[in-house]
């Protein structure tokens, strides 16, 4: 046996040395085109990267921030689809009380993977997609500070995703059933190999996020153009900088805790054993990372909303300075609230009170932002284009998600609602209702820049309304389910006591909402893909008419310059000209101002 | 503030190494934590060679082979230390650890052997490269 392994090792070693030797032979990758010229999408020539390798090799070797942004975005949307399909299976199982068409074990696996997928494989990477593509453009940098580290950070993600989903993909291996929180002792004692793979995958995504954060910090500090000062740094870059600071302190801790968990599982250490560091140590370490993670996910989307709302309200962001200060305040306070996830673990009541106070205090900077968004819109020249609709949806849903969080921060309320669907409803209002909405707003707002085309307006509005209705149907139902005492994480609810009829009805409403959400997202994907391929070309460097209100910004200026370059090379094609918000001839900007 | 230097000089547009660094790191973690000797060795090799490659390409270091050699020697020392600390010195103990890496007593030794073996292969490769191509 050992002989076979050694022979295999020697073979692998020789192969790898050969590969490495081959790579070092190729001196100039910029000019290396083994698979023929052209790009994968056939539309990328306008990026002015003619010096890059062609074909698949371009995407495998690129260190350009815009290409890496596109890669991050594509990856995150695939993960969003996978996480969405997982939760659809769960919601269909919950349509009726009994165990119907999937086992409880499989439900637990889906539950675990859905959470990890949406937070780490969709949420963090899609923000990195925006950051990579737009932060250098917004601050006038040529690229990220460390382009190669940028590429390493991205390429850690696909293997990470395959490992997180490994339990489903590899036959004969049971997927992890630990929930995304991976509480010890369950996560230590569960023998599934899928759990090891998931933890390793998660560790990789954490390393990736940390490398990305270091890059964003270095870029924003050192690569700004001469005319971009701290005073006029845009709000999105401010939130990316704060988020990167949070990642720098939070993710290495998650990485260390995950390594400790892997060592407990595979090398016999006792970090989280009762006779060692105790299972509660895991909860402290996990939530010291886990709560800042919420703000890691929400701050850049808040930045997107703060950036986009003024451009469709025809005026500058109200109280810019205070929006920046509130971002920094949230960043600092986020590290002082972790134990509000642990009020029911027997924590000292004096500690509970202090964590409650800090948790409640976070409502203040959050409210500062909310009031500033509302005040920016107040009496403004509101244009209800799709990005603006999603921003307004963000504000509405964030208020519900935020206020329900204020209740949960209070110890006595938390004791009642802990581990119920109320918690699930609360954080989904923030994650789906707010974060995902801001991401959709960003995708639509900057669609002309990264595709050179405009999306289809009617499909986009359909996407918004279906998402808004589906989100509220599903997650408001969950808030009421929580008040009725329905515990979270259960695959069945065929109980004999309690308000079973109301619980069944609310579960069915939540499932109907999820189906509405699914239909909305299918329309979204169709819109993005078809518009990217065949949408009307944008020929104006100011597709949102930002110059009218003196809100024209640096990234559209860059886009305009690129359009000029393209026009100089164009062959006089006769494609239709795009209208604002992808509208048809009959809808111009004025008709959108309501 | 950024000095708007010549873009072509400062910013590369393509590099083969990031993908291999990432895959190498992934395979290393898989092999070491799960305890699969050939996978661990392959991962450390790929990771070590790619790190030397990317550092040389980015001109953080001047010599590919010397960097790889130093990296290999450090890994070999770490691996050896793990083997000695784990009590796995000797051919019988080493083969036993490779055979059953997750048995109590073999856990640290098997991982140490993988890291050490990969370090030695890296160092030998670097030495060979230095002899054949001293300019790199």
CA distances from A393 to A296, A305, A424, A438, A508 (A): 20, 10, 19, 9, 24
A379: phi then psi, degrees, rounded to nearest 5: 60, 15
The token pair that represents B2 in the structure block: 């950024």
**Bridge partners, residue A487, by sequence:** A420
Q: What pLDDT sits at residue A13?
A: 76
User: What is the interface size between A and B, counted as CB pairs within 8 Å?
Assistant: 160
Question: Contact B41/A9, CB-based, under 8 Å?
Answer: yes
Cβ-count burial A441-454 (b if 16+ within 10 Å, e if not): bbbbbbbbbbbbbb
Sole residue written with tokens 């609310």:
A506
Residue A546: pLDDT band (50, 70, 90) is: very high
> Is there a contact between A178 and A160 (Cβ–Cβ < 8 Å)?
no
Among B2, B26, B99, select the one facing A224 at the smallest CB separation. Answer: B2
CA distances from A542 to A445, A449, A545, A553, A591 (A): 12, 10, 5, 9, 18
Query: B36-90 pLDDT, tens per residue?
Result: 999 999 999 999 999 999 999 999 999 999 999 999 999 999 999 999 998 877 8
Q: What is the largest CA-CA distance in chain B?
A: 62
Task: Report how far residue A269's alpha carbon sits from residue A256's, in angstroms, rounded to the nearest whole number.
Answer: 14
Chain B residues inside the 8 Å CB shell of A6: 37, 98
**Distance in Å, alpha carbon of B84 to nearest chain A alpha carbon:** 17
Domain that holds residue B85: 17-131
Asked whether the predicted pLDDT for residue A514 surpasses 60, the reply is: yes
> Is there a contact between A521 and A412 (Cβ–Cβ < 8 Å)?
no
Q: Does B127 touch chain A (CB under 8 A)?
A: no
Among A8, A23, A224, select the one facing B16 at the smallest CB separation. Answer: A23
Q: How many CA atoms lie within 13 A of A157 on its CB side?
A: 31
**Distance in Å, alpha carbon of A439 to nearest chain B alpha carbon:** 27
- Residues with Cβ within 8 Å of A362's Cβ and at least 6 positions away in sequence, in order, are A330, A333, A334, A337, A409
Sole residue written with tokens 């790929």:
B46
Task: Report how far residue A193's alpha carbon sits from residue A181's, in angstroms, rounded to the nearest whole number.
Answer: 17
Nearest to B36 by CA among A382, A6, A590: A6
For residue A62, what is the DSSP state? B
> Which of A3, A6, A18, A20 best probes binding to B when mutated, by most B CB atoms within 10 angstroms?
A20
Nearest-Cα residue of chain B relative to residue A32: B14
Task: Report how far residue B128's alpha carbon sits from residue B136's, in angstroms, rounded to the nearest whole number.
Answer: 12
Chain B residues inside the 8 Å CB shell of A61: 14-16, 18-19
Q: What pLDDT sits at residue A29?
A: 61
> Is there a contact between A385 and A357 (Cβ–Cβ < 8 Å)?
no
Name the average pLDDT for chain B.
88
Q: What pLDDT sits at residue B10?
A: 56
Residue B5: pLDDT band (50, 70, 90) is: very low
Chain A residues inside the 8 Å CB shell of B82: none
Residue A487, classed as helix, strand or coil, is strand
Asked whether the predicted pLDDT for residue A46 surpasses 60, the reply is: no
Asked whether the predicted pLDDT for residue A35 surpasses 60, the reply is: no
The token pair that represents A335 in the structure block: 């590290």
Q: What is the largest CA-CA distance in chain A?
A: 78
**Percent of chain A clearing pLDDT 90 (strictly above):** 82
Q: What pLDDT sits at residue A588?
A: 38
Select the more confidently predicted residue: B113 or A6: B113
Nearest-Cα residue of chain B relative to residue A150: B18
Question: Contact B14/A52, CB-based, under 8 Å?
Answer: yes
Question: Contact B121/A141, CB-based, under 8 Å?
Answer: no
Query: A200-241 pLDDT, tens per residue?
Result: 999 999 999 999 999 999 999 999 999 999 999 999 999 999
> Which of A152, A209, A223 best probes binding to B when mutated, by most B CB atoms within 10 angstroms?
A152
Does residue B7 lie within any of the structural domains? no
The token pair that represents A105 in the structure block: 């074990």
Does residue B126 lie within any of the structural domains? yes
Q: What pLDDT sits at residue B88?
A: 74
Among A9, A154, A207, select the one facing B37 at the smallest CB separation. Answer: A9
Q: What pLDDT sits at residue A56?
A: 86
> Is there a contact between A455 and A491 (Cβ–Cβ < 8 Å)?
no
**Percent of chain A clearing pLDDT 70 (strictly above):** 90
- Residues with Cβ within 8 Å of A63's Cβ and at least 6 positions away in sequence, in order, are A143, A147, A148, A150, A151, B11, B12, B13, B14, B15, B18
Does residue B11 lie within any of the structural domains? no
What Rg, from alpha-carbon coordinates, does chain B have? 18
Name the average pLDDT for chain A.
90
> Which of B2, B56, B107 best probes binding to A when mutated, by most A CB atoms within 10 angstroms?
B2
Asked whether the predicted pLDDT for residue A37 surpasses 90, the reply is: no
| Helix pair angle (A147-155, B37-57), 10° resolution | 160
Among A5, A62, A226, select the one facing B37 at the smallest CB separation. Answer: A5
Q: What pLDDT sits at residue A593?
A: 36
Cβ-count burial B39-56 (b if 16+ within 10 Å, e if not): bbbbbbbbbbbbbbbbbb
**Distance in Å, alpha carbon of A63 to nearest chain B alpha carbon:** 5
Question: Contact A9/B38, CB-based, under 8 Å?
Answer: yes
In this structure, how many other beta carbons lie within 10 angstroms of the beta carbon of residue A191?
A: 9
Task: Report how far residue B90's alpha carbon sits from residue B97's, in angstroms, rounded to the nearest whole number.
Answer: 11
> Is there a contact between A383 and A312 (Cβ–Cβ < 8 Å)?
yes
Select the more confidently predicted residue: A141 or A47: A141
> Is there a contact between A139 and A220 (Cβ–Cβ < 8 Å)?
yes
> Is there a contact between A551 and A509 (Cβ–Cβ < 8 Å)?
no
Cβ-count burial A104-123 (b if 16+ within 10 Å, e if not): eebbbbbbbbbbbbbbbbbb
The token pair that represents A112 in the structure block: 């675990």
Q: What pLDDT sits at residue A51?
A: 66
Does residue B28 lie within any of the structural domains? yes
Task: Report how far residue A501's alpha carbon sits from residue A256's, in angstroms, rounded to the nearest whole number.
Answer: 46
Chain B residues inside the 8 Å CB shell of A5: 37-38, 98-99
Question: Contact A64/B13, CB-based, under 8 Å?
Answer: yes
Q: Does B130 touch chain A (CB under 8 A)?
A: no
> Which of B1, B10, B13 best probes binding to A when mutated, by most A CB atoms within 10 angstroms?
B13
Please identify among residues 67-86 of chain B the ones whose CB lies closer than 8 Å to any CB of chain A. Answer: none
Q: Does B124 touch chain A (CB under 8 A)?
A: no
Among B12, B19, B42, select the one facing A60 at the smallest CB separation. Answer: B19
Sole residue written with tokens 């909305």:
A520
Task: Report how far residue A81's alpha carbon sits from residue A436's, in angstroms, rounded to the nearest whole number.
Answer: 13
- Residues with Cβ within 8 Å of A78's Cβ and at least 6 positions away in sequence, in order, are none
| Helix pair angle (A235-266, A124-139), 10° resolution | 140
**Cis-peptide into A185, omega within 30 deg:** yes
Sole residue written with tokens 């010195």:
B89
CATH number, span A58-539: 1.20.210.10
Asked whether the predicted pLDDT for residue B98 surpasses 90, the reply is: no
Query: A119-140 pLDDT, tens per residue?
Result: 999 999 999 999 999 999 999 9
Asked whether the predicted pLDDT for residue A469 surpasses 90, the reply is: yes
Task: Report how far residue A367's alpha carbon sits from residue A40's, in angstroms, rounded to the nearest whole number.
Answer: 45
Select the more confidently predicted residue: A37 or B54: B54
Task: Report how far residue A539's alpha carbon sits from residue A352's, in angstroms, rounded to the nearest whole number.
Answer: 58
Q: Does B54 touch chain A (CB under 8 A)?
A: yes
Chain B residues inside the 8 Å CB shell of A198: none
Query: A191-200 pLDDT, tens per residue?
Result: 889 999 999 9
Among A16, A29, A143, select the one facing B14 at the smallest CB separation. Answer: A29
Task: Report how far residue A420's alpha carbon sits from residue A409's, in angstroms, rounded to the nearest whole number.
Answer: 14
Task: Report how far residue A51's alpha carbon sits from residue A502's, in angstroms, rounded to the nearest whole number.
Answer: 63
Task: Report how far residue A406's alpha carbon sits from residue A280's, in angstroms, rounded to the nearest whole number.
Answer: 25
Does residue B59 lie within any of the structural domains? yes
> Is there a contact between A425 and A481 (Cβ–Cβ < 8 Å)?
yes
Does residue B12 lie within any of the structural domains? no
Q: What is the ipTM of this complex?
A: 0.91
Chain B residues inside the 8 Å CB shell of A24: 53, 64, 136
Asked whether the predicted pLDDT for residue A245 surpasses 60, the reply is: yes
Q: What pLDDT sits at residue A229?
A: 95
Question: DSSP characters for chain B?
Answer: ------HHHH--SB-SHHHHHHHHHHHHHHIIIII-HHHHHHHHHHHHHHHHHHHHHTTSSS-HHHHHHHHHHHHHHHHHHHHHHHT--SHHHHHHHHHSTTSTTTHHHHHHHHHHHHHHHHHHHHHHHHHH-TT-
- A8, with CB counted inside 10 A (0-12, 13-18, 19+), is middle
Hey, which of A15-19, A496-500, A566-570 has the most confident mean pLDDT? Answer: A496-500
């Amino acid at each position: 046996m050992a002989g076979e392994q050694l022979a295999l090792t020697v073979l692998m070693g020789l192969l790898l040395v050969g590969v490495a030797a081959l790579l070092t032979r190729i001196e100039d990758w910029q000019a290396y085109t083994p698979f023929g010229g052209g790009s994968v999408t056939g539309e990328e020539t306008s990026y002015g990267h003619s010096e890059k390798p062609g074909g698949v090799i371009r995407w495998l070797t690129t260190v350009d921030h815009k290409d890496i942004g596109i890669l991050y975005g594509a990856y995150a949307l695939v993960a969003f689809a996978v996480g969405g399909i997982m939760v659809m299976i769960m919601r269909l199982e919950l349509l009726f009380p009994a165990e119907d068409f999937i086992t409880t074990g499989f439900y637990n696996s889906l539950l675990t993977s859905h959470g990890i997928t949406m937070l780490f494989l969709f949420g963090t990477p899609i923000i990195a997609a925006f950051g990579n593509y737009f932060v250098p453009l917004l601050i006038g940098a040529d690229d990220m500070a460390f382009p190669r580290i940028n590429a390493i950070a991205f390429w850690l993600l696909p293997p990470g995703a395959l490992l997180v989903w490994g339990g489903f993909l590899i036959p004969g291996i049971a997927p992890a059933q630990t929930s995304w929180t991976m509480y010890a002792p369950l996560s230590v004692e569960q023998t599934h190999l899928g759990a090891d793979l998931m933890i390793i995958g998660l560790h990789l995504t954490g390393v990736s996020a940390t490398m990305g954060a270091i890059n964003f910090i270095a870029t924003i500090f050192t690569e700004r153009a001469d005319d971009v000062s701290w005073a006029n740094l845009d709000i999105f870059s401010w939130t990316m900088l704060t988020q990167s600071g949070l990642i720098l302190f939070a993710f290495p801790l998650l990485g260390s805790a995950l390594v400790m968990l892997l060592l407990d599982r595979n090398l016999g250490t006792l970090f989280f054993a009762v006779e060692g560091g105790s299972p509660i140590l895991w909860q402290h370490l996990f939530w010291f990372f886990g709560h800042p993670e919420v703000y890691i996910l929400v701050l850049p989307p808040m930045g997107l909303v703060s950036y986009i709302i003024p451009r469709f309200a025809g005026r500058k962001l109200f109280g810019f300075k205070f929006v920046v200060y509130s971002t920094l305040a949230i960043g600092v306070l986020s590290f002082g609230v972790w134990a509000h996830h642990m009020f029911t673990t027997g924590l000292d009541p004096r500690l509970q009170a202090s964590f409650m106070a800090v948790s409640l205090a976070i409502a203040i900077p959050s409210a500062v932002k909310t009031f500033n968004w509302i005040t920016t819109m107040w009496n403004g020249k509101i244009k209800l284009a799709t990005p603006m609709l999603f921003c307004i949806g963000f504000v509405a849903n964030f208020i519900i998600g935020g206020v329900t969080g204020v209740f949960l921060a209070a110890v006595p309320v938390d004791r009642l609602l802990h581990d119920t669907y109320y918690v699930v409803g609360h954080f989904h209002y923030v994650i789906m209702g707010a974060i995902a909405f801001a991401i959709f707003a960003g995708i639509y707002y900057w669609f002309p820049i990264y595709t050179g085309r405009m999306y289809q307006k009617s499909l986009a509005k359909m996407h918004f309304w279906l998402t808004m209705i589906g989100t509220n149907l599903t997650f408001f139902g969950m808030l009421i389910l929580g008040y009725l005492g329905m515990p979270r994480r259960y695959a069945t609810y065929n109980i004999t006591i309690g308000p079973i009829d109301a619980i069944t009805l609310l579960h069915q409403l939540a499932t109907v909402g999820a189906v509405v959400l699914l239909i909305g997202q299918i329309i979204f994907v169709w819109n993005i893909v078809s518009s990217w391929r065949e949408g009307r070309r944008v020929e104006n460097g100011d597709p949102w008419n930002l110059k009218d209100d003196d809100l024209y910004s640096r990234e559209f200026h860059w886009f305009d310059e690129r359009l000029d370059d393209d026009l100089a090379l164009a062959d006089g094609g006769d494609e239709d000209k795009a209208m604002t918000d992808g509208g048809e001839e009959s809808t111009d900007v004025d008709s959108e101002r309501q | 503030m950024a000095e708007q230097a010549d873009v072509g000089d400062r910013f590369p547009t393509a590099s083969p190494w990031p993908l291999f660094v990432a895959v190498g790191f992934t395979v290393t973690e898989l092999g070491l934590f799960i305890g699969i000797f050939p996978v661990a060795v392959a991962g450390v090799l790929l990771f070590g060679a790619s790190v030397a490659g990317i550092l040389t390409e980015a001109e953080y270091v001047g010599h590919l082979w010397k960097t790889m050699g130093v990296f290999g020697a450090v890994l070999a020392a770490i691996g050896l230390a793990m083997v000695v600390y784990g009590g796995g010195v000797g051919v019988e103990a080493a083969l036993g650890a490779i055979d059953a890496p997750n048995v109590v007593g073999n856990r640290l030794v098997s991982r140490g052997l993988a890291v050490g073996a990969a370090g030695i292969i890296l160092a030998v490769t670097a030495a060979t490269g230095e002899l054949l191509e001293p300019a790199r």
